[in-house]
């Protein structure tokens, strides 16, 4: 890993956090903090909500009172968890700028921190969440070790599923805030040797990637994907982009919420998927007893703060 990688990553984060300027409402947030179709929703469309839906469904199966969101940006994930489960939440992020935003926007305690050396005691939180972060860090194994250290019960992670060729190219060219690590469904299996339970789940299957989705131009991949399959995916993406303006006017938010939920069920059978959700359980007693809390895509998509 180049010595100036951290500096390049921070530069990319700062540039993206400033966002695109909106005529009357300032910058575009890093996350969809205002809710679906509420103007400044950030980039990602339904994929942001599909990720959040998968994450919150996994959390609903755990028993926890406290949660730490690492790489929290504006604090949207922690806020949704607080709203759904009533947990005490804390955020931390590489940039102090994001920490100040989570305090100002969601009134959530947040502190600047390096994921490789978190400023918290061992087992300080029941659950630790880290989304869309490991693909950027300098040492993923060390980062995961820190997440495990400060969690008492479980760790939940989401990472993109991309070709190693692409991440190697990003690293070689020092792409600001680029994805420089590639992950597969078995990438964290090494933790089983330490006695932990590790499960992985696919996110963003064939339903959300090529169809209505209102999604960005993310790379979807599965191991051994042929040139023909890649060409088909590219063609579907072009069709999707052409239909996007029409779909945005025709498809209702309720239908899009249904698509998010349906994709989460169908995705397990999909050979092509965009992200991976890892659940690492340290405490066998972390499971929920009794009925699971209700988590719906619609409720998640409607969770946000009003414009200030």
Pairwise CA distance, residues 221 & 161, whole Å: 7
Tens-place pLDDT, residues 36-89 = 877 655 555 778 888 999 999 999 999 999 999 999 999 999 999 999 999 999
The structural domains of the chain, with segments of one domain joined by +, span 5-18+29-205+264-283
CA distances from residue 296 to 25, 33, 162, 293, 299 in whole angstroms, order as listed: 29, 17, 28, 10, 5
Q: Look at 25-39, 150-164, 285-299 and tell me which has the smallest mean pLDDT.
A: 25-39
Residue scoring higher pLDDT (16 or 107): 107
Helices (H) then strands (E): counts for the chain: 9, 9
In this prediction, residue 22 has a pLDDT band, given cuts at 50, 70 and 90, of very low
Q: CA–CA separation, 305 vs 75, rounded Å?
A: 11
Its pTM stands at 0.80
pLDDT at 2 exceeding the cut of 70: no
CA distances from 300 to 4, 60, 66, 76 (A): 38, 13, 20, 11
Q: Which of 118, 144, 135 is nearest to 12 (CA)?
A: 135
- Considering the domain delimited by 5-18+29-205+264-283, tell me its CATH architecture: 3-Layer(aba) Sandwich (3.40)
CB 150 within 8 Å of CB 68:
yes
C-alpha span between 247 and 237 (Å, rounded): 14
DSSP assignment letter at 206: T
Question: For residue range 154-183, what is the model confidence (pLDDT) as tens digits?
Answer: 999 999 988 878 777 877 777 766 787 889
What mean pLDDT comes out for the span 247-257? 71
């Amino acid at each position: 890993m180049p010595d100036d990688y951290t500096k390049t990553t921070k530069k990319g984060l700062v540039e993206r956090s400033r966002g695109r300027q909106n005529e009357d409402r300032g910058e575009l947030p890093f996350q969809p903090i205002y809710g679906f179709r509420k103007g400044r929703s950030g980039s990602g469309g339904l994929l942001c909500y599909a990720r959040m839906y998968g994450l919150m469904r996994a959390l609903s199966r755990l028993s926890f009172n406290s949660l730490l969101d690492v790489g929290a940006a504006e604090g949207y994930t922690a806020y949704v968890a607080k709203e759904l489960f009533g947990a005490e939440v804390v955020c931390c992020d590489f940039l102090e700028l994001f920490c100040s935003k989570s305090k100002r926007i969601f009134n959530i305690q947040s502190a600047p921190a390096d994921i490789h050396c978190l400023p918290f005691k061992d087992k300080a939180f029941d659950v630790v969440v880290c989304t869309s972060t490991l693909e950027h860090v300098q040492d993923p194994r060390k980062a995961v070790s820190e997440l495990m250290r400060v969690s008492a019960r479980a760790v939940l992670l989401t990472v993109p599923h991309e070709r190693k060729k692409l991440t190697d190219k990003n690293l070689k060219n020092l792409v600001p805030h680029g994805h420089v690590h590639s992950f597969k469904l078995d990438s964290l299996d090494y933790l089983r040797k330490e006695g932990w339970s590790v499960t992985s789940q696919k996110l963003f299957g064939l339903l959300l990637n090529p169809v209505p989705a209102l999604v960005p131009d993310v790379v979807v991949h599965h191991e051994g994907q042929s040139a023909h399959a890649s060409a088909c995916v590219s063609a579907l993406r072009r069709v999707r982009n052409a239909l996007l303006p029409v779909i945005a006017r025709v498809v209702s938010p309720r239908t899009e919420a249904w698509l998010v939920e349906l994709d989460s069920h169908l995705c397990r059978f999909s050979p092509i998927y965009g992200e991976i959700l890892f659940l690492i359980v340290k405490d066998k007693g972390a499971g929920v007893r009794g009925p699971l809390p209700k988590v719906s895509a619609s409720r998640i998509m409607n969770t946000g703060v009003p414009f200030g």
